[in-house]
Structures are given as structure tokens and as C-alpha cells.
Structure 1
Amino acid sequence: MSESTAAPEHLDFEAALTELERIVQALETGRLPLETALQRYQQGVALVRRCRQVLDEAEQRLLAIENGTLVPLDPPAER
């Protein structure tokens, strides 16, 4: 990975997504040697998994909020 040497499981969502976008752009050029393309593809898969994990965790947090403390706001009464 370029800017970030951290393993995908240590990246936040934005960093993982940015790196994934860079990998996709590199792969789309079709100019990478086969071995490099395979390595980048493998890195991309790990980053997709990380993004999915972070999104799943966020969804679980939102569901917990909805089931616990989230109360719909009533629109202000008209006078």
C-alpha cells in the first residue's frame, strides 16, 4: 500500500476507501505486471473487507441507538 503501511484492519474507513480507490485506478490502467496486479487485487480484497467491517459496526451502533435512546423529534407546533 502506498501512503499507509498499516494493515487494513488498522485503517479507518476513509483511509481504507482511499487506498482501495488508488488500487482500482492502478488496476484499471491494465499496465501493471501480472504479479503486481495480483498483489494489488489481494490488497483490494482485504480493504473491501475492512470497509464492510467498519460499515457493519456503524450499522450495529445505529441500531443500538434506535433501540435505546433515539426518540423522534416532533415538529414544532404551529401558532
Structure 2
Amino acid sequence: MMKSIATESPISFEAALQELERLVQTLETGNLPLEESLAAYERGMALLKFCQETLACAEQRIRILSGEELTPLASKEADAP
């Protein structure tokens, strides 16, 4: 039996991503009872939302730092004389 699904907010993007990966692996086995599968799915959706919001905030910060315009990162070859 799987231990209870966490309900608190993750401490970081990386922690959320790791937890989400573990949940996906657990769900893919197909060995969970229905109620535990639903709880894991619900937690996964909450983690996904957290990750998407975190990435959106990071993108916004980058936009602000780069003067409101996202520019593609230059390759190392383009930087060479």
C-alpha cells in the first residue's frame, strides 16, 4: 500500500518535479487501488500547476531583465570570431 499522498506545497521547482516523476512512475505500474490512483492523479495535477506557474514566473523575470524581449540564446559558434 502506498503511503499517503502529500498535500503541502513543494519547497522548490526541482522538488515538485521529482515528486511528479515518482507519481507518474507509480501510476504507470497500475498496481494502486482506484482511490489511491485518484489521489495520486490529483496531487500530480497540483504539482504540474505549481511547475507551470513557477516557469511562467521565471519567464516573466527573464522578460523584465532582458527589457521585455525574449531573445534566443546564441550558440558558441556564433560568438566565435
TM-score past 0.5 threshold: yes
What's the TM-score once normalised by structure 1's chain length? 0.75
How far the C-alpha of 1:6 sits from its partner, in A, is: 6.7
Which structure carries more relative contact order (alpha carbon 8 Å, separation 6+)?
A: 1
Q: Could you give the per-residue CA deviations for residues 22-59 of structure 1, whole angstroms, max 9, x where no partner exists?
A: 00000000000000000000000000000001100000
Q: Which amino acid aligns with 2:13?
A: F
Q: In the alignment, residue 7 of structure 1 is paired with which amino acid?
A: E
TM-score by length of 2: 0.73
Partner of 2:73: none
| Percent of residue pairs identical | 45
Bigger Rg, structure 1 or 2: 1
Query: Structure 2: any 5+ residue segments left out of the alignment?
Result: 69-78
Q: Which amino acid in 1 is paired with 2:24?
A: V
Q: Segments of 4+ in structure 1 off by > 4 A?
A: none
Equivalent residues, number = 67
- Where is the helix percentage greater, Structure 1 or Structure 2? 1
**Which amino acid is 2:45 matched to?**
V
1:15-30 pair list within 5 angstroms = 15-30=15-30
